Amino acid sequence: MAPLRVLELYSGIGGMHQALKASCTWAEVVAAVDVNTLANEVYKHNFPGTALWAKTIEGITLQEFDRLSFDMILMSPPCQPFTRTGLQGDVSDPRAKSFLHFLHVLPRLQKLPTYLLLENVKGFESSSARAKLLETLEACGFEHQEFLLSPTCLGIPNSRLRYFLLARRHQDPFPFRVPGQILTRFPDQDLEDLVKDKAADQVGEASSMSSEEKSLDSDTGPERSSKSSLPKGAFLFKLETVEEMARKEGQDTDSSVQMLEDFLEDEDEEKSQYLLPPKSLLRYAFLLDIVKPSCRRSTCFTKGYGHYVEGTGSVLQTAVDVQLESVFKGIEELPEEEKLMKLSTLKLRYFTPREIANLHGFPLEFGFPDQVTAKQRYRLLGNSLNVHLVAKLISILLG
């Protein structure tokens, strides 16, 4: 029996490839396709034996697709046309052109693949692109099931709500398939519970807008919010609602989710380069989502993390014995120098790229070429996916 032949489209830094390995599937990635030069350098660094096509999807001809003779497609099309914090250009966005080309090519292949897995942002499920995808899959004889899942459902302390679609041909029907429903849990619990939990999840999602909705990947979100027109030297702040505080407390006491400390590197002198600069502390202190190593939560890390402050991901309080309340109480009335002194006692730092990679499920052997800067690593990881989540979905797809 030959290994499964897999085509990886929009391969990025190789999250799908890593998930394929983590799923223990006997498979060969016959080609990985991406136009991002920097992402391709990282991909080659980690998967030197894989054929990497540095070209656009619309630049691949039907004949080239046919020659690959693949059994499975793994893909993460550009998310910007569908982000709820972006312009939502959908199929009219130029960045959706390659995906539409793929949908045009799929029914024309000499040999249709048996399996397909697609990942995108929440928001894709209500797009015209998704409608075209489902129409194409149906015409090609695929059955499908859609999901909205976050790594927290696997006990990983990071909110990263994403849309997933599983599709396959010539197989027994998915035993868990719920036509017209988007599942919000893995199908390893009672089907009744899956459907019942849907309404509860929607309520939960709405209540956590600040931690998930605002931090979805977007070209404009973080930059716009951090550069909003404010009086020079203005001190931004927000007061958390009682509901928001209760939600965070509930997350931190949920023993089904691991503590952040399991994903952190050792604190050493080198970590001082990740401390928040005084300017950011003074201007954005009340907008930060501050977590301790003992917390069981963190907000979605976007590609602007480490460069923009607001809505790009949580920051870590490394002075664990200092109480947040004692630092922030009455702080807005203090002179700037005293404010800074109090805020500095928290020793707030950004999560390192390696720590974010850990939360995303990339193994320790996964690395970056030395010339890739920290800012570039944050950007690439912000555009990536959760390896453990996708690995489980691949196993379900092939099951």
Which residues are known to be catalytic?
Answer: 79
Residue type, 221: G
- CB atoms under 10 Å from CB of 92, counted, come to 11
**DSSP label at residue 301:** P
Give every CB contact of residue 340 below 8 A, 6+ residues apart in sequence.
278, 281, 282
Tell me how far apart the alpha carbons of residues 312 and 325 are, in angstroms, rounded to a whole number: 23
Specify whether the CB–CB gap between 103 and 136 falls below 8 A. Answer: yes
Specify whether the CB–CB gap between 143 and 116 falls below 8 A. Answer: no
In the block, which residue shows the tokens 């429903």?
A: 181
Half-sphere exposure of 145 (CA within 13 A, CB side): 18
Distances (CA, A) of 359 to 152, 229, 272, 303: 10, 34, 21, 15
Residue type, 356: I
| Strand runs labelled E in the chain | 4-9, 27-33, 52-53, 72-75, 115-121, 143-149, 162-168, 182-183, 290-291, 315-317, 348-350
Handedness of CA 120, 124, 129, 135 (dihedral sign): positive
